[in-house]
Structure 1
Amino acid sequence: MLEIKDLKAGYGRTEVLHGVSVTVPDDAVASVLGHNGAGKSTLLRAVVGIIKPTAGSILFNGEDIAGLRPHQRVARGLAYVPQGQQSFGPLTTLENLRLVADGRKRGKALVDEALDMFPALKPLLARRAGLLSGGQRQQLAIARALITEPTLLILDEPTEGIQPNVVAEIEQTIMNLASRSGMRVLLVEQHIGFALRAADTYYVLAAGRVSSSGRGGASAAETVRTAMLI
């Protein structure tokens, strides 16, 4: 379980998060929603160690990881997929995957398992990542993260700029991952329908604070929309 308590963080003297508390239960998906500037990406960057919190704690499996470096958090089981369908453009799809798998005991098997989660990538293994569509690059980015064998997958706006049919594939993959024993997902998303369908628990951020939270599902959509208007 990931438990973020009273977290404060920002950039320089500008505080963006003002005491945020978020929990990702075991074997579940937690979605964080909110408009641009609400602090969603800042929250994720603090969790993975890109920025250092000024107060609060980040407990992962009972250990406070707020003082750990990013690679130490990865070793604990965190994997982060930032915005922007990031990949190594000059490398092929397969080379992007092997780059993460190299040095791991189950390297080839991990690549195969990742491709099974995203079969649309299989015909594209020899294509340079820079020539893939946005949706294909997003699938590649998530597949690369899965090769690290995370127990917590952190996704920042995975549907941004993605065609609708690929959004449906990514949504189903996230739900399949969450059904695995020991896997959790922390999802930052602006699309309410997608976020709530995938989520067991949701949080709405507004101006760096949690303005609403509850259980996921379509029935929560009106509550979330109201909270995002405040």
Structure 2
Amino acid sequence: MLEVKELKAGYGRTEVLHGVSLTIPDESVAAVLGHNGAGKTTLVRAVVGIIKPTAGSILFNGEDISRLRPHQRVARGLAYVPQGQQSFGPLTTLENLRLVADGRRRGAALLDEALDMFPALKPLLSRRAGLLSGGQRQQLAIARALITEPSLLILDEPTEGIQPNVVAEIEQTIMKLAARPGMHVLLVEQHIGFALQAAHAYSVLAAGRVSSSGDGGTGAAESVRSAMLI
């Protein structure tokens, strides 16, 4: 589904990624783990086209998308939920969802499907997004991304600042999404327990390089912690 090869990227003259390579297996959840400053967000920003790599390639379904604009990557099936529970605060929950759904051939049906994944949003449709809790805004952000009908959903720190009961709900939703035919999830996290519980495979970034990779599951936690100390 997604293959990153020897990717180098950064900001101005500061290189953050120093030849990162990783693969997301078919129909699975893959986790990218690492501390703040490891290069995780830079990696996903390069994948979705927000920043341009200086070297390497990004293959999506076998196509090199390294030179495509962000909207072209969305059209190919990429969806990105950045960290921070981002939403349009003055708009209601429903208006946030309609911004994406309106104009799509199956817009109304896709909106309903997204709400079915996050039923906690249904009583909040008339509430301004800026008045939602952090967990509710995170669910809204993921629901909005699902309306684009992605085949790869990229979630950057989805548990950041979220209460534990909502973290469990988000994990269950990710597992449901990954069970859909043709759906893949790239989960960028610091929360090791959550990420390994959800992921089939993981890669650890340290100082802009992959320091470890392997199969997911809670049994991998010790190897991940050791790699994150490098």
The TM tier, using the shorter chain, reads over 0.9
Correspondence for 2:32: 32
Determine helix, strand or coil for the equivalent of 2:99.
helix
CA deviation after TM superposition for structure 1 residue 14, in Å: 0.4
Q: Distance in 1 between matches of 2:92 and 2:132?
A: 10
Amino acid paired to 1:96: N
Please give the residue correspondences for 1:178-193 in structure 2 after superposition, counting only pairs within 5 Å. Answer: 178-193=178-193
Q: How far apart, CA to CA, are the structure 1 residues paired with 2:93 and 2:132?
A: 9
Show the counterpart of 2:115: 115
User: What percent identity do the matched residue pairs reach?
Assistant: 87
Residue in 1 aligned with 2:92?
92
Shift of 1:26: 1.1
**What is aligned with 1:133?**
133
Deviations 1:44-91 (A, max 9, x none): 000000000000000000000000000000000000000100000000
TM-score (norm 1): 1.00
Shift of 1:167: 0.3
Show CA shifts across 1:3-56 (max 9, x none).
Answer: 000000000010000000011111001100000000000000000000000000
User: CA RMSD, aligned part only?
Assistant: 0.4
Partner of 1:213: 213
Counterpart CA distance in 1 for 2:103 and 2:182 is 24
Tell me how far apart the structure 1 counterparts of residues 158 and 35 of structure 2 sit (CA, whole Å).
15
Q: Name the amino acid aligned to 1:63.
A: E
Q: Which residue of structure 1 aligns with residue 198 of structure 2?
A: 198
Q: Secondary structure of 1:140's match?
A: helix
Runs of 5+ in structure 2 lacking a partner? none
Equivalent residue runs for 1:1-230 within 5 Å:
1-230=1-230
Deviations 1:140-160 (A, max 9, x none): 000000000000000000000
Unaligned residue ranges in structure 1 (runs of 5+): none
Deviation at 1:162, TM superposition (A): 0.2
Counting matched residue pairs gives 230
Query: Whole-Å Cα distance in 2 between the matches of residues 73 and 211 of structure 1?
Result: 28
Structure 1 stretches (4+) deviating beyond 6 angstroms? none
